[in-house]
Amino acid sequence: MIPNLSSRLSLLSPEHSLQAEYGGIRIEAQDWPLGSDHVLDNPFSVSADENDYTGIGCFQMGLDCTRKDIADLLEAQRKLRDLDLLDRIQKDELRQLASDFKKLDQTRALGQDGLAALKELIDLLTAATGSETDKLRIYSGLHSGFRTRQETQIWGMYDVEPTMDTMNLYISNKTHDRAATILHTFLSSRGYTRFQCFTAEMKWAKQQGTLSSTWGLCPRILADIEQLSPAETLLWLQRLSRAKNDDARDLSSKVSAYCRYQLMEVPSLLQLRELNSTGYLSGDVSAESLVMSRLSWYREQGCSLPDASLALSVFTDIDARLPGILMSGNTQALAQFEDVITKIIQKDRIDASADMLALAVFCAFRRVALNEIYLEVLDRNPRPNLDPVQASCFAENYALGARCDAYLDLTPMACGKILSDRFRAYFRKYQPPRRDEVFTELPTAYASMDIDLDPKGGHEELPLYYRFTFLGIFAVPALIDITLLTTIGRGLYLSTYMSNVDKNMTTTALMVSLLLVGGFGGWISSGGSYYLYAMAFPAMSMFVLTRFIAGLCVAVVGGVFALIGIGAASSFVSGVVFFAYLVMLTTYLMTLSALSVYQLPGFQFQSVSHLPRLSSNLKLFANCWFIVRDELLS
């Protein structure tokens, strides 16, 4: 598959390789300016301001902490304890701790520093039952409550209650090693210096086997230093270098070595990683400069390294062949890749050729994977807004999941930036068409086929009788009325044999009823049609009925009053005529207006607002006909 791989990556010792200078700064040694005195103090036990750390508790190495800070935090923890919100360590765990400490005691490792205190701790732990009467109570609190105002991380504090002679230990729930923190805090409470507490912790770590092999420090100290910012690390390193205390020399040298590693090696490692991932994938860094940077890193480490041009040829070769392998579906080759990579990348056993091969393989796969992600994101979001955040959201949603870092060694933001830059370049070449404003569908190449849309929907064919009866609801009664009037002289509404007074009354009744219906009908249809569109049918019916009945009531009551009035003014009969016509006409017309609410779009039922015009025309026509009739009759 890849010819002559082993010979191409054969290692040469550094002397044989090119001694090209790649511009780097070599730091030989630090030379701190001579500052203040106090150089004889133990930097672990005493702060830079000459405050003794004894008895404060267990807190982060490298940062300062005062008694006042501790007092504040203790206050908060005491309150929480009173509210019963702290997690108390139970009997089983206390017994386990006791047995572990017993083992430490048996090794006699602590020596002068704390043997007595350890025995006391063991006794207290053995006697503890988790009840209220214990002499020692250990509480585990939320990590966020253990941070001072100066951002120092406290791991453990203690509090003595003089009345009951009990001691409360408060430790953070995110400590790396709970037993070590308890030991440190207890020793601190018994008056041992911080340096002695650290020594005890180191001995404990040694006994447990958790001491780091490269640095010789317990993991808690390593984690503490990692959490420091570069400025803080630098200050701490300065302090350590200046201190001339003999006791602390051993620990101090180890800690200084680790601080130096954190300051120098780790950032350059991060920068190299960034070059591999972001730099290469965005196209800013060419394959050649990537390989060269890696080789110069090997050179700094002083190990054997392969030849530059051959390494570059391996890199470009793998990069060129990978798409072909994937397209032809060569699963065997992929399995081989997997096999080789998992075998040669073992922790602490990677040499330069393995590293170079891994670089070539991972960079090739990452580049192809990013192309796939790019197409997928553009398919799902064809109109990106060129903001990198949007691109990274879509990439995570559809391709990467939450593990962008694990697959591509990129943060999601960096990935989004690379993708959005590519979009920009692509859209410069293929300009997208103008966005259609009425287009409400979310654009995506994986769109549904919209089979729910009915192309023929909404266009109902109304049968003929339907269309006829719409108009007929007004026209037919009027037609019948006129026909009857002309033929037999008795219409539906009036007849020619009525007296003038009666005719006046009926006409007035019509007018008043039209007014009433106009008001109430408008009221009904104003609200009713909204309920229909919202498909809230019970509410709609209720609405319409209440108003209908209201209209009827008004008509009836008004009619009664009018009856009395007219009966008093002129004759009772006219009053009755007026009342009857009023009520009948109002009922009929309001029914029509209520019915007009129940219509769907596309239908042609006219609402009652058209009614006055239509009936006034009819009335006019009827009046004309009466006049004509009268003339004819007379």
Partner 1 sequence: MPLAPKADRDSHHQDKHQRSAVPNAIARFIEKLTADITRLVPAKPPKKDLKTFGAFLSSVSVPLSPCQIRLLSQWDVIVVDPLQPGVLDALAWDLSTAYILARLDVQNLTGSHAANDSKAVINSLDVLSQTLATSLKRQSDPHSYFRGILLTGFREHFSPAVLKKLQEYVNALGLDVWLELSPPEYLSTSECRDIDMTGIRGIVYRNGTIRPDGDRQNYFMMGEMRKVMRALAGQKPMGEATFAMWETVNDGVELAHDVVQRAYKWCNYNSAMLWIGPQSALTDAKVALKKCVSAEPLGALMWLKNDEIIAAQDRWRSNDKVGLLAPASQPGTVLTCGRSPSTHVALNPCTKHSTV
Q: By CB under 8 A, what part of segment 219-248 binds partner 1?
A: none
What H or E segment, with its residue span, contains residue 459? none
Give the amino acid at 10: S
Considering the rule CB under 8 A, would residue 407 count as an interface residue with partner 1?
Answer: yes
Considering the rule CB under 8 A, would residue 331 count as an interface residue with partner 1?
Answer: yes
DSSP state of 60: -
Task: Enumerate residues 12-31 that contact partner 1 by CB under 8 A.
Answer: none
Q: Which is nearer to partner 1, 229 or 268 (CB)?
A: 268
Phi, psi of 357 (to 5 degrees): -65, -45
Q: Are 139 and 170 in contact (CB under 8 A)?
A: yes
Supply 255's token pair.
């800690």
Tokens 């596309």 belong to: 602
User: In the bound complex, what is the minimum distance in angstroms from residue 404's beta carbon to partner 1?
Assistant: 11
Q: How would DSSP label each residue in 268-294?
A: HHHHHHHIIIIIHHHTSS-HHHHHHHH
Q: Which is nearer to partner 1, 33 or 329 (CB)?
A: 329
Task: Enumerate residues 481-540 that contact partner 1 by CB under 8 A.
Answer: none
Considering the rule CB under 8 A, would residue 259 count as an interface residue with partner 1?
Answer: no
Task: Enumerate residues 342-371 that contact partner 1 by CB under 8 A.
Answer: 342-355, 358, 362, 365-366, 368-369, 371
Q: Which of 232, 409, 421, 502 binds partner 1 (CB under 8 A)?
A: 409
- State how far the Cα of 270 lies from the Cα of 276, in Å rounded to an integer: 10
Considering the rule CB under 8 A, would residue 452 count as an interface residue with partner 1?
Answer: yes
Q: Which is nearer to partner 1, 2 or 115 (CB)?
A: 2
Task: Enumerate residues 426-445 that contact partner 1 by CB under 8 A.
Answer: 430, 432-433, 438, 443-445
How long is the chain? 634
Q: Which of 27, 425, 453, 632 binds partner 1 (CB under 8 A)?
A: 453
- State how far the Cα of 269 lies from the Cα of 266, in Å rounded to an integer: 5
Size of the site for partner 1 (CB under 8 A): 91
Q: Which of 155, 236, 374, 578 binds partner 1 (CB under 8 A)?
A: 374
Q: Which is nearer to partner 1, 362 or 474 (CB)?
A: 362
- State how far the Cα of 377 lies from the Cα of 397, in Å rounded to an integer: 9
User: In the bound complex, what is the minimum distance in angstroms from residue 455's beta carbon to partner 1?
Assistant: 5
Give the amino acid at 165: D
Q: Which is nearer to partner 1, 85 or 350 (CB)?
A: 350
Interaxial angle between packed helices 91-107 and 178-189, expressed in degrees from 0 to 180 and rounded to the nearest 10: 70
- State how far the Cα of 294 lies from the Cα of 359, in Å rounded to an integer: 9
Task: Enumerate residues 181-200 that contact partner 1 by CB under 8 A.
Answer: none
- Which is nearest to 355 in space by CA: 405, 260, 449, 290? 290
DSSP state of 149: T
Could you tell me which stretch among 105-113, 173-181, 190-198, 334-342 binds partner 1 (CB under 8 A)?
334-342
User: In the bound complex, what is the minimum distance in angstroms from residue 119's beta carbon to partner 1?
Assistant: 41
Q: Which of 209, 455, 463, 538 binds partner 1 (CB under 8 A)?
A: 455
